């Protein structure tokens, strides 16, 4: 039943889309879903929903379709399926889905964690894809979604990253950033739950003061509703 629900959810909010690479600066690679190898990304490449893009230091990829332009900066990664606007309702459904997937079962590691194989022409054997920092690259990509007005999609990408790369949940500054989006969107119950979890992490004084203040603010807003 759960798998059926997942399928309905995915097909319900993910529409087919393609982006064209307008420009590549520095090092950038892409991986198509189901494949192990990463290939060099070049200007003019057309990428679809099932593609993940990753950039190296001092690198940038500019993408566009008929309605959207998006630039992925250095040391970042993003799934093409995430480059889209979402409604609050879509976000709430996605968060519920993430909770449903994560809570009752241990998931196998994503293929994003796989090593880079082969040396065929066009394939990449690159230090861009070290497993220990790929989760961080995903969070960087999620922040850039938010900075480009796709805040709901950014939060979903953040949660997917935490599920696939659990160690990234310890990065307090990122968790505060994305939880602040929930707060700004008026999703106070969801934000409060996250702020409490963030409070359990090792925080700087500035971070602790901010989280404590947000917890009190959310409580006041919930009481006044």
Domains: count for the chain: 1
**Other C-beta atoms lying within 10 Å of the C-beta of residue 66:** 8
Residue 194 lies in a domain: no
* pLDDT score for 71: 97
Residue 193 lies in a domain: no
From 39, 104, 77, select the one nearest 160 (Cα to Cα): 77
What range does the domain containing 34 cover?
A: 2-126
**pLDDT, mean over the chain:** 85
Residue 200 lies in a domain: no
Q: Decide if pLDDT at 124 tops 80.
A: no
Residue 11 lies in a domain: yes
pLDDT digits (tens, 9 = 90+) for 24-72: 999 999 999 878 899 999 999 999 999 999 999 999 999 999 889 999 9
């Amino acid at each position: 039943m759960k798998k059926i629900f997942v399928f309905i959810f995915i097909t319900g909010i993910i529409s087919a889309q393609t982006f064209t690479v307008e420009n590549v600066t520095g090092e950038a690679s892409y991986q198509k879903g189901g494949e192990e190898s990463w290939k060099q990304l070049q200007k003019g490449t057309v990428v679809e929903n099932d593609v993940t893009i990753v950039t190296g230091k001092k690198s940038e990829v500019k993408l566009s379709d008929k309605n959207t332009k998006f630039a992925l900066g250095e040391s970042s990664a993003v799934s093409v399926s995430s480059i889209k606007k979402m409604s609050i309702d879509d976000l709430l459904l996605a968060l519920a889905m993430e909770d449903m997937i994560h809570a009752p079962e241990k998931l196998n590691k994503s293929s994003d964690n796989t090593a880079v194989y082969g040396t065929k022409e066009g394939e990449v054997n690159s230090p861009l894809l070290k497993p220990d920092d790929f989760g961080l690259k995903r969070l960087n990509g999620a922040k850039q979604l938010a900075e480009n007005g796709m805040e709901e999609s950014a939060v979903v990408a953040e949660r997917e990253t935490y599920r696939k790369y659990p160690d990234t949940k310890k990065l307090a500054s990122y968790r505060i950033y994305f939880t602040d989006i929930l707060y700004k969107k008026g999703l106070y119950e969801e934000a409060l739950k996250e702020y409490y979890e963030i409070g359990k992490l090792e925080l700087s004084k500035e971070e602790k003061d901010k989280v404590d203040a947000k917890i009190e603010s959310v409580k006041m807003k919930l009481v006044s509703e």
